[in-house]
């Protein structure tokens, strides 16, 4: 039987050669490969700086620390996102204020203003599944109400809001290079993109024990650095990213064309260019359909079956959580179909046939 994975890393001879080159270079942490990767990432996203760190989550700690997040601060954030989006802020005693989503699964910008209190300090939109949140509105509200904006771009490397790649619009963008992401380093990794030179400098110091020179520590920092082998791999992945994203868009268009009469397919706003980190359909018969696809050798995912305001860790922490009707409904209906930058179109057709067969159409 055919076996179709949900996602697969891009791995070719150039990637292998880059890893070997770094392995034999004699330099392993924050060296020339990291420097070059940071500069290429910054150019690609369109920011002055990109600062590599050991994961998105690590970057979150560094950024919140550098920005002086403090207990009692509130941050507007969608509940429908990966749990790590809200972890760093909670460790600083700040509170996630959960916002419901719109039809793109990103935070509903029309609900933001009503959730602002005197304690609100920022907005953290998530470009979920590779589709950008409505950045114009988020930035406008941020400016008007004096709130910072940090973009969670963990699933959206190369996605565009209008003509601009996400990750350059607010104070900072944050990327993950976890193996399932559109751009990976074959392990954990992340980066922060920003135009704020002082912030970039603070984050660089904090990730490396608070120092600029080897034996002088200006701050008490962490070890959340990046390494040369993964940077060398990431550089090759970055050079291939647009081509792989274009293929994802072709796969998505094909899925939509074939299965939109039986399931709800993901919308793409006219101002958005999604990079389809996930291709997420919706149906009330989600669990049955998932089983059917699995019996056909097709891997599926649910991103995510429990929203963050429903997580035990969160319900224990906060007694007064909101009801988020759209989020609470979609978590029972969403299903992620296989998608990656080199997914063969025959496999896409095989998945479509299996979906149509389930609905007998």
Q: Footprint of ligand PLP on this chain (CB under 6 A)?
A: 55-57, 81-82, 84-85, 126, 152, 154-155, 176, 178, 188, 190
Q: Cite the beta strand spans of the chain per DSSP E.
A: 49-53, 74-78, 95-99, 120-123, 148-152, 160-161, 164-165, 172-176, 190-194, 211-213, 216-217, 272-273, 279-282, 334-337
Task: Return the number of the residue (90 or 352) whose C-beta is nearest ligand PLP.
Answer: 90
The DSSP string of 221-255 is --B---BHHHHHHHHHHHHHHHHHHHHHHHHHHHH
Minimal distance, residue 229 CB to ligand PLP, in Å: 17
Helix (H, G, I), strand (E, B) or coil at 352: helix
Task: Return the number of the residue (66 or 354) whose C-beta is nearest ligand PLP.
Answer: 66
Minimal distance, residue 181 CB to ligand PLP, in Å: 7
Task: Return the number of the residue (189 or 221) whose C-beta is nearest ligand PLP.
Answer: 189
Task: Check if the beta carbon of residue 48 is closer than 8 Å to that of residue 194.
Answer: yes
Instruction: Show the tokens assigned to 31.
Output: 């060296």
Minimal distance, residue 34 CB to ligand PLP, in Å: 16
Please provide residue 180's backbone torsions phi and psi, each rounded to the nearest 5 degrees: -80, -10
Task: Return the number of the residue (47 or 57) whose C-beta is nearest ligand PLP.
Answer: 57
Minimal distance, residue 110 CB to ligand PLP, in Å: 22
Buried b (16+ CB within 10 A) or exposed e, 338-351: bbbbebeeebbebb
For helices 197-207 and 56-66, the axis angle rounded to 10 degrees is 120
Minimal distance, residue 85 CB to ligand PLP, in Å: 4
For helices 228-259 and 32-45, the axis angle rounded to 10 degrees is 30
Minimal distance, residue 254 CB to ligand PLP, in Å: 24
Task: Return the number of the residue (150 or 232) whose C-beta is nearest ligand PLP.
Answer: 150
Minimal distance, residue 107 CB to ligand PLP, in Å: 12
Task: Return the number of the residue (44 or 105) whose C-beta is nearest ligand PLP.
Answer: 105
Residue 239 to residue 40: CA distance in whole angstroms: 9
Task: Return the number of the residue (22 or 107) whose C-beta is nearest ligand PLP.
Answer: 107
């Amino acid at each position: 039987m055919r076996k179709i994975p949900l996602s697969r890393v891009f791995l070719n001879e150039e990637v292998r050669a880059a890893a070997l080159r770094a392995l034999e270079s004699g330099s392993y942490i924050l060296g020339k490969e990291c420097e070059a990767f940071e500069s290429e990432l910054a150019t690609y996203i369109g920011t002055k700086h990109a600062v590599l760190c050991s994961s998105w989550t690590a970057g979150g700690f560094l950024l919140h620390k550098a920005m002086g997040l403090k207990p009692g601060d509130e941050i507007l954030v969608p509940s429908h996102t990966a749990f790590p989006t809200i972890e760093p802020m909670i460790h600083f005693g700040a509170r996630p204020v959960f916002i419901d989503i719109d039809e793109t699964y990103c935070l509903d910008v029309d609900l933001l203003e009503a959730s602002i209190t005197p304690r609100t300090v920022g907005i953290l939109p998530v470009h979920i599944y590779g589709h950008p949140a409505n950045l114009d509105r988020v930035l406008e509200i941020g400016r008007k109400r004096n709130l910072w904006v940090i973009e969670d771009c963990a699933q959206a490397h190369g996605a565009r809001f209008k003509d601009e790649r996400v990750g350059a619009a607010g104070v900072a963008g944050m990327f993950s290079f976890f193996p399932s992401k559109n751009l990976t380093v074959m392990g954990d990794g992340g980066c922060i993109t920003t135009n704020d030179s002082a912030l970039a400098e603070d984050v660089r110091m904090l990730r490396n024990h608070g120092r600029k020179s080897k034996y002088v520590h200006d701050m008490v920092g962490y070890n959340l650095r990046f390494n040369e082998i993964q940077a060398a791999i990431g550089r090759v992945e970055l050079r291939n990213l647009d081509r792989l994203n274009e293929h994802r868009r072709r796969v998505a268009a094909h899925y939509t064309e074939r299965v939109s009469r039986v399931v709800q397919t993901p919308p793409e706003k006219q101002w958005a260019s999604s990079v389809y980190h996930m291709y997420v359909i919706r149906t009330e018969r989600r669990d049955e359909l998932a089983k059917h696809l699995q019996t056909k050798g097709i891997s599926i995912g649910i991103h995510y079956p429990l929203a963050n305001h429903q997580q035990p860790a969160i319900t224990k922490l906060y007694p007064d959580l909101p009801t988020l009707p759209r989020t609470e409904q979609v978590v029972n209906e969403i299903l992620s179909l296989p998608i990656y930058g080199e997914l063969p179109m025959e496999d896409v057709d095989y998945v479509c046939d299996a979906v149509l067969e389930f609905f007998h159409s």
